[in-house]
Structure 1
Amino acid sequence: MGKPETKILHVDMGDELQQEVLQVASLALNQYEDNWDIAHYIKKEFEKRQGGYWICIVGKYGEYSSSVTYQRNFYFRFSIGNKKFEMFRSA
């Protein structure tokens, strides 16, 4: 089976940080199956690496909507396979 497709859905974040988010998300997907566990891993990893308070939402593609306030230049919405991610530093 091939690597799941990654789609960038909306981004307000620098390229380097985007790559770090995608790397950490891939690690989480390899370690966990449950959406809560995946989101929690990514959140805690970013709070450790980048400081501040991070929010990570993980769900099945197309099954959730959100309206959030985030710190400028720290928002990234993407999908990997059938999972949709929303990652941001809280404002």
Structure 2
Amino acid sequence: MGNAEIKILHVDMSDELQQEVLQVASLASHRYKDDWDIADYIVKEFQKRQEGDWNCIVGDCGYYATRVTYKSNFYFRFSFGNKKMTVFRSP
């Protein structure tokens, strides 16, 4: 994962899928600087790798709030370096 500190904020996802999300998020964060590009990359990767409709929210750690409806067992909110991310599958 590089040097970025990871902090789990809320999780309703298998350990295996969490690791996959963190790997994709790390790659996206190293490849892109813009939040939209990071989120877009993560969504496109999960649309290829997993079933269903995936969503990603990326924001600054200074201010970040979300309220989403997600499919049970497919929600992960975490901080990664100076970003907070939410990755989830729609119901």
Q: How do 1:8-87 and structure 2 match up within 5 A?
A: 8-87=8-87
C-alpha distance in 2, partners of 1:64/1:10? 13
Q: Between Structure 1 and Structure 2, which shows a larger proportion of strand residues?
A: 1
Task: Give the TM-score, by structure 2 length.
Answer: 0.95
The root-mean-square deviation of aligned C-alpha atoms, in Å, is: 1.0
Aligned residues: 90
- Identity percentage of aligned residues: 69
- Residue in structure 2 matched with residue 7 of structure 1 by the alignment: 7
Superposition misfits of 4+ residues, deviation over 2 angstroms? none
Task: Give the TM-score, by structure 1 length.
Answer: 0.95
In structure 2, the gaps of 5 or more residues are none
C-alpha distance in 1, partners of 2:64/2:3? 24
